[in-house]
Amino acid sequence: MTSPVGDYNGDVGGVKFYKGRAVVDSDTHGAAVAYMRRRGYTLTPINETAASEERVPEQDGPVKPKAADNKDTWVAYTVATTDLSEAEAGDLTKTELQELADKEQES
């Protein structure tokens, strides 16, 4: 779903928009979708099977977080992929956790 206001961040009928875009399930938010269509929002259907195949690559083990993910996500990943305890990983900065993950991938 695309908002008529390109940089809109917020909630419309339970649908959360970021930078004017949102992913919405019309079965769950049918009334909100109908409202947004009447108000000039653009609905672009997504082929769920193709989208899920693109987003979820086959991989063994934990998936490395994205750089923008929060520190807690990085701590969990570090604990799962190294010998560090949760407390030890929690004492590191997010940048240190990311650097450690990069080193672990290289070895």
DSSP code string of 25-56: -TTTSHHHHHHHHHTT-B-----HHHHHHHH-
Q: What is the pLDDT of residues 60-105, one digit of tens each?
A: 667 889 999 999 999 998 988 889 999 999 999 999 999 999 988 7
Question: Residue 4 carries which DSSP code?
Answer: S
Over pLDDT 70: what percentage of the chain?
Answer: 85
Query: What tokens appear for 27 in the block?
Result: 């079965």
Q: What is the mean pLDDT of the chain?
A: 84
pLDDT value at residue 48:
59
Amino acid letter, residue 44: T
pLDDT value at residue 49:
53
Question: Residue 7 carries which DSSP code?
Answer: T
pLDDT bin (cut points 50, 70, 90) of residue 56 is low
**Is the pLDDT score of 53 beyond 80?**
no
